[in-house]
Amino acid sequence: MSFASPLFLWIFTPLVLALVLLAPRSWRNSIVAVSSLTFYAVGAGPTTVLLLVTMVVNYLAGQALEPDDWALARRRKRGILMAVIVFDVATLVVWKYAGFLTEQLDGFARLFGGDFPVVHLLLPIGISFYTFHNISYVVDIYRGERPALRQPVAYATYISMFPQLIAGPIVRYREIADQLPQERTHRLDDIASGFPRFALGLCKKVIIADSLSPVVDACFATPNDEMTFAVAWLGAITYTLQLYFDFSGYSDMAIGLGRMLGFRLPENFARPYSSITVTEFWRRWHMSLSRWFRDYVYIPLGGNRQGSGKTYRNLSIVFVLTGFWHGANWTYLVWGIYHGALLVVERGFHRDEPPTERAALVARRALTLVLVIIGWVFFRSTDLSQALTMIGHMLLPDFTGVTDVIEEVFTNQRFLILLAALVVVFLPAHPVTGPLLESSSSRPATVLRVTIMTAGLFYAAILVATGTFSPFLYYQF
């Protein structure tokens, strides 16, 4: 069930909000948990059982992990923590990567005239996200940062909450633990604050991202022998914008929905294409993922406290994992290595902080954007051959124009939407639109709020009703 589907927008969400608003406080978590599991089961089918199993295992482990003063008990708890993390990671690896790994082994075996059985498993929706939520839960309890949840319903609410279950934001347990008790308040003001944020995300997704999607698909479907400089750059730029408006739109919708349910979910984007450095880009892009890897991988490895060499090692490990976290394909691994290498180079040459001169700022911002765009080519390509072909044409101008197929899909309407979307590249880093909509009563925020809630929302609703929306890109992860 997509956030941009009529069933979700006009039946599921109004019904859940009405129940949460009208029900006694003691029922609210139960309503959220049951509706969330129903939402998940509609899309995930039998793999919902896997979500339930991981929830049971991590909930029971959490009860046993709260710290105490006994050294023997602490050693036992550490063993429990390691065991449950191995279980969570193994579950993710088996269900998400077993097919990819066995395909590689089969390819290797065929070089010597043999074969290896290839595993085909149905990928559970959102497994990368709920696995990270489970790990955050047990680690934060073990560290003593938050107590374990005693009510199974409260835990089910945290893990399965439908706004963030499928594609984030990745909510660390300590960020939301204080919001999970049954007695939390929920008011009409929450709905009034959250709905404009939700509407903003819907407009980003349906009006911009989905409009650019056919152009992206046509460019990346162009055969290697027909690829040109214009096709390669058009595909790379439109995908850069499509991915941003699709994923940040989803995050806005998730944060808005969470607010309407009485929860404050963490921000996930802060104008990443305004970044001056790649280091800054990762402070602004998919921020909840960056924070998760920082807290549960980078810092435990030693962070930047053990000299330059180990800092570079830790950065490289984090970005190899970041690449593979996104999917079982060599293109994701190369994308992760590429960004890790950029960060190491920036840090090594002391270029991870922005310059002070205006001309240098503009040049560094343009360079960062170009580097990010090149990285997205790896991210979107079906294989490394396609990615390298496109990047090769991007770097070697041939001025031969676009193919007939792309001319057909690149309509005047989509051209205008592309120009409108490009505005995000030139905006200043602050203020960030989403939080501004929720918190500010300034005139610009009011004008933006009224525009989104009238013209934008009306047009988006028409597009949804006509069935012109597509699944969110991050559903595949």
Q: Which residues are catalytic?
A: 326
- H or E element at residue 87: helix 71-110
* Separation of alpha carbons 57 and 83, rounded Å: 11
35's CB contacts (< 8 A; 6+ apart) are 12, 16, 19, 162
* CA gap 375, 275 in Å, rounded: 15
Q: Where are the alpha helices (DSSP H) in 221-286?
A: 229-260, 278-284
Could you give the CA distance from residue 474 to residue 245 in angstroms, rounded to a whole number? Answer: 12
Q: Which two tokens stand for residue 32?
A: 């959220």
| Cβ–Cβ under 8 Å, residues 445 and 436 | yes
Taking the CA atoms of the chain, what radius of gyration do you get in angstroms? 23
3-state secondary structure of 263: coil
Cα 418–chain centre separation: 22
- Opening angle at CA 86, ends 80 and 90, nearest 5: 150
Tokens 């941009």 found at: 4
The beta strands (E) that lie in 250-377 are given as: none
For 226, which DSSP code?
Answer: G
* End-to-end Cα separation, the chain, in angstroms: 16
The CB-side HSE value for 332 (13 A sphere, CA atoms) comes to 13
